Structure 1
Amino acid sequence: MKLSTIAAGAATAAATAAGAAVSVLAVEGLLARRRRYLSADLAPPGSGVFGAGRPLRLVLLGDSTAAGLGVTVTGETVGGRLAELLASTGRRVHLSSAAVAGSRAADLDAQVARVLVHGVPDVAVILIGGEDAIAFTPLDVVEAELTATVRRLVTAGSAVVVGTCPDLGAARNFGQPLREIMAWSGRRVAAASAQAASGAGAGVVDLAGRTGGVFRADAGTLSADGYHPSADGYQLWALALYPLVYEASRTTSAPR
């Protein structure tokens, strides 16, 4: 067989394989979009008062995970778990949330504006990145938006902790191979977010690195839609975030 014939056959096979891969990804994407997800209306209240002692204002910003979608009571959200942990150290924690389901990094500016209308929070926790990873938001946009958000809060007087994009490879709503492509995109967004947040003065927690293995191994860490965390999943995130959140709370003094 001539080399030209072999090369042509190989090229045809490669093109066919590539076309098949694209078709599989298109089908997986369509199935993921058609899957029934939890409605944003099902998120529990994002506010509450926990404990007694010296006041501490804790605010959550970000996407549906910061809003607690996937659980039914405030105490099972990341914010609620963190508030309970902080309350156990003798603080009276005033928890509130400006998080909105579906938010990307570009939406944080409006959330900060709503927060600062009510005063400067002592500690602001930001959970963002999943929607940017799914939408393949340019990394320079993610970095610029998160940098601006953190700087605005730090300049106002808040201590800031950012939880970066979780491991999307653990999400059961995506089929393979789309799931691993989403995981790859999530890692890129997480790395860009970590660099931006750290450079702007925030503490950073790599949620994918700290908790992704457990999420992949235990489907019980996810809620019914296979994407949003369950109460157990949010507990894992809260425990990963807590050391930095606690240190941030120690820098606060008088109530504002």
Structure 2
Amino acid sequence: MLDIGLRLALSPVLLLQGATVRARALKLPEASGPREGTIGTGPALSVLILGDSSAAGVGVTHQDQALAGQLSQQLSQDFSLNWRLIAKTGATTASTLKHLEGFAPSPVDIVVTALGVNDVTHAVPFGVWQRRQHALHARIEQLFAPRLVYMSGVPPLGLFPILPHPLRWTLGRQAARFDQALATSLGARKHWHHMPFDVPLDPAQMAADGFHPGPEIYALWGKEIASRINTDWPPVSNRH
């Protein structure tokens, strides 16, 4: 209740700061390069990366430097990997659900997601976000029937250098609340895993816009997810 009261009291300042940040923010493109491919040798493994601008590689030049490329390079050391990227700048849980409406079922072994920042910055109410997350989980199961899912945690917006206070504090608190709820919702789901955003947010390693990851952060992120996949694969039980 305290957070809600403070946000209401600060709302004129927060609205002004939000508009100022959007107006002044450097607009970076999505990374160029292919969004699907086959790489490596070994047992077959298929991976789908689904998400927003961070999944799309905003902050680096080419997909080789982005999450999809870094994750693929890591996994290709142990697998014959078939990978695919579905990502768009500005994607929210709602827009991702809408986008997936046009997809036919296409089973994959593993789904990796990177969503949540835009839900926070668009001020999606907490309860609405939870309902949309549950719908997204169901849609992923329906379309892709994955054996493992890794949902990246909501990044700590309270540490993003481009955001001024009190906007940074407010978004940081909400991001932490969303992330905790995500972790809790996945705790009882077999083969669904929450991946906390534990990568250090050194401003020197972030993109020029002060908001997106730079090459070093993408490399660490991809390595961490690949390490988890290598540990967990193959899952103990196989529903298929």
How high is the TM-score relative to the length of structure 2? 0.83
1:207-243 Cα offsets, whole Å, 9 max, x none, are: 1xx22xx20xx21221111111111111222233233
Aligned: 1:223 with 2:212:
no
Aligned residues: CA RMSD: 2.8
Matched residue, 1:105: 93
Looking at structure 1, the residues matched to 15 and 216 of structure 2 have their Cα atoms a distance apart, in angstroms, of 32
- Tell me if structure 1 keeps the 8 A contact 2:156–2:172: yes
Secondary structure of 1:45's aligned partner: coil
AA of the residue aligned to 1:166: P
Larger Rg: 1
AA of the residue aligned to 1:177: P
1:50-83 Cα offsets, whole Å, 9 max, x none, are: 2122222111111111111111122211122111
Matched residue, 2:194: 204
Distance 1:113 1:245, change over 3 A: farther
Q: Of Structure 1 and Structure 2, which has the larger fraction of its residues in helix? A: 1
Looking at structure 1, the residues matched to 130 and 229 of structure 2 have their Cα atoms a distance apart, in angstroms, of 22
Looking at structure 2, the residues matched to 250 and 38 of structure 1 have their Cα atoms a distance apart, in angstroms, of 40
1:140 counterpart (117, 127, 134): 127
AA of the residue aligned to 2:163: F
Superposed, 1:19-38 pairs within 5 Å as 24-38=13-27
Distance 1:185 1:38, change over 3 A: same
1:14-56 Cα offsets, whole Å, 9 max, x none, are: xxxx98x655434422221112333445554332322122222
- Tell me if structure 1 keeps the 8 A contact 2:46–2:83: yes
Looking at structure 1, the residues matched to 134 and 13 of structure 2 have their Cα atoms a distance apart, in angstroms, of 37
- Tell me if structure 2 keeps the 8 A contact 1:139–1:192: no
AA of the residue aligned to 1:99: A
Distance 1:248 1:109, change over 3 A: farther
- Tell me if structure 2 keeps the 8 A contact 1:60–1:67: no
How high is the TM-score relative to the length of structure 1? 0.78
Looking at structure 1, the residues matched to 131 and 11 of structure 2 have their Cα atoms a distance apart, in angstroms, of 31
Structure 1 segments of 4 or more deviating over 6 A? Answer: none
